[in-house]
Amino acid sequence: MPSFWASLTPEQQHALLEGPALSPPPGVLPNFVNPPNRNAMTYGVLFTCASLSALVVAIRVYAKAFCTRRVDIEDYLAVAALGAFGGFLYGSYQMVHIVGSFNHQWNVRMKDMTGFLYNMNEASGAFAVAITLLKASILLEWMRTFVPRGVRNAFYWTCCITILINTMFNIALTLVEIFACTPRHRYWNRLSVEGKCVDEYAVYATSCVLNTSVDILILALPQKVIWTLQVSTRKRIGISIVFAFGVLACVCGTLRLVFAIRFFQTHDSTYAVTPMGLSAWGEITSGFLVLCMPSVPKAILRTPFFQRLMSSIRSRVGYSSEREKNVARRYYFQSWHRTRRVARRAPLDADLGELSTHDLMITTRFSIASRTNSAAEATEITGQSAEVVVPFEDRALGSAALR
């Protein structure tokens, strides 16, 4: 092709650049002015994915920084993944802006393909970085949530090996995608630049298969632990639903593989790239939901506005328990009213918000004097406190707090 380009006169080169990037089917005329497309729908999905991902990450950061006051490495990785996802969405936006969404390539001028291919190459690299950081963050969160400190069980080593394999392969695939052609600018200017390129189909197919496999593993890993918890079936189902956002990630990853195969089997790349991009947006957004949704209940329940709102609602509908009355006193009694201080007790059931903070080995303080049946023992140790470590399995995620 470069030799053919060099053989053309300037007038012929200009005519070629202003012409269609692909020969249209018989009887079809190129439409460069207002071709049929689905730009509005694509922009809507793009901004929805961007807003939803940014929202849940912001909620997680708020919950970890201001509610639990503990920020871990996976939180930094989540923020970095969100930044890379923003780069991917920006490249995708530029592609839609240049050639349109679901727009056939014969409705695109040849000169516009340079910008389209450049942004596709940049977006592919940003996607690989985002998906690598995001999945590492999810697996680190799984380890912190479901593996007690100091324990090195099968769950722990599975997560470690998966993080290692996923990171190494995605780094290699990212470098291959970015430097797919030699020289690099041949990737988006193949008409006039001499060089060679790797087999992009093999790279994209390998990336899709790897990421879909990791999605399935992330979905399956916590389910066994969740369904062995000693909590009600309703609680198990609720917790599983939160984590089962991974199902959507698996579906999107599978669709991305299917659309990638179609993309490399057709010459109409501007049309075939759109569904592949949509499925990639859905896969990453689902990953952010898997990582951040367990933090949402904690962030909402511990917000002062929400606490006052719930107290106001309870004050209007009445109270069904002494505990609710105590909560009401805290907000509505005058400052001179003094209530008896009661030792705080752990919740009876698992709180979804607590899943995001780990510490499956909980230290519970209680008064030994109040537990003894012997008056002599009570006299001997009255006022002293002991510290008891309650294993996660016995505690059923916070439900067996000592009283």
Q: 148 with 224: CB under 8 angstroms?
A: no
pTM of the model: 0.73
**Percentage of the chain modeled with pLDDT above 70:** 72
Q: What mean pLDDT is reported for the chain?
A: 76
Q: Please give the residue that has the higher pLDDT: either 283 or 342.
A: 283
User: What is the mean pLDDT of the segment spanning 392-400?
Assistant: 38
What gap in Å lies between CA 89 and CA 122, rounded to an integer? Answer: 10
Long-range pairs for 147-153: beta carbons < 8 A, 24 or more residues apart: 147/360, 148/360, 148/361, 148/391, 148/392, 149/360, 149/361
Binning pLDDT at 50, 70 and 90, where does residue 238 land? low
- Residue 130: phi and psi, rounded to 5, are -60, -45
| Range among 153-167, 243-257, 349-363 with highest mean pLDDT value | 153-167
Contacts of 320 by beta carbon, 8 Å cutoff, 6+ apart: none
| Three-state SS annotation for 321-337 | CHHHHHHHHHHHCCCCC
pLDDT surpassing 80 at residue 29: yes
**Higher per-residue confidence, 319 vs 20:** 20
Of 39-53, 258-272, 306-320, 357-371, the poorest mean pLDDT is in 357-371
Given a contact cutoff of 8 angstroms between Cβ atoms, the answer to whether 119 and 93 are in contact is no
Residues 6+ apart with CB under 8 A from 168: none
What's the CA gap between 54 and 90, in Å, rounded? 14
Instruction: Report, as an integer, the average pLDDT of 359-388.
Output: 37
| Residue range 206-221: mean pLDDT, rounded | 83
- pLDDT at residue 223 greater than cutoff 90: no
H-run or E-run covering 263: helix 245-265
Nearest CA to 213 out of 241, 244, 254, 175 is that of 254
> pLDDT band at 39, cuts 50/70/90?
very high
Rounded CA Rg of the chain: 28
Using alpha carbons only, give the angle 351, 356, 358 rounded to the nearest 5 degrees: 95
The CA distance from 264 to 207, in Å, is 14
pLDDT single digits (tens) 136-165 = 999 998 888 888 888 888 888 989 999 999
Q: Is the pLDDT of residue 207 over 70?
A: yes
What does the alpha-carbon distance between residue 197 and residue 203 come to, in Å, rounded to a whole number? 12
- Model confidence over 47-86: pLDDT tens digits? 999 999 999 999 888 888 887 788 889 999 999 999 999 9
In this predicted model, which residue has the larger pLDDT, 5 or 241?
A: 5
- Contacts of 73 by beta carbon, 8 Å cutoff, 6+ apart: 140
Q: State the amino acid at position 190 in one-letter form.
A: R
Take residue 374 and report the two structure tokens written for it.
């012997």
pLDDT at 240: 67
* Residue 386, phi then psi, degrees to nearest 5: -120, 160
Q: What mean pLDDT is predicted for residues 90-108? A: 93
Phi, psi (5° rounding) for residue 366? -155, 165
Q: In the chain, pLDDT over 90 holds for what percent of residues?
A: 27
CA-CA-CA-CA dihedral for 112, 279, 177, 3, to nearest 10? -30
Q: Which fold has domain 2-21+35-300?
A: Rhopdopsin 7-helix transmembrane proteins (1.20.1070)
Please state, in angstroms and rounded to a whole number, the distance separating the CA atoms of residues 144 and 356. 8
Please identify which residue in the block is written with the tokens 């639903």. Answer: 241
The first and second tokens of residue 226, run together, are 């969740």
Question: In this predicted structure, what is the pLDDT of residue 71?
Answer: 86
Count CB neighbours of 105 within 10 A. 24
Comparing 137-141, 159-163, 189-193, 239-243, the range with the smallest average pLDDT is: 239-243
* Type of residue found at 91: G
Ranges for all domains in the chain classified under CATH 1.20.1070? 2-21+35-300
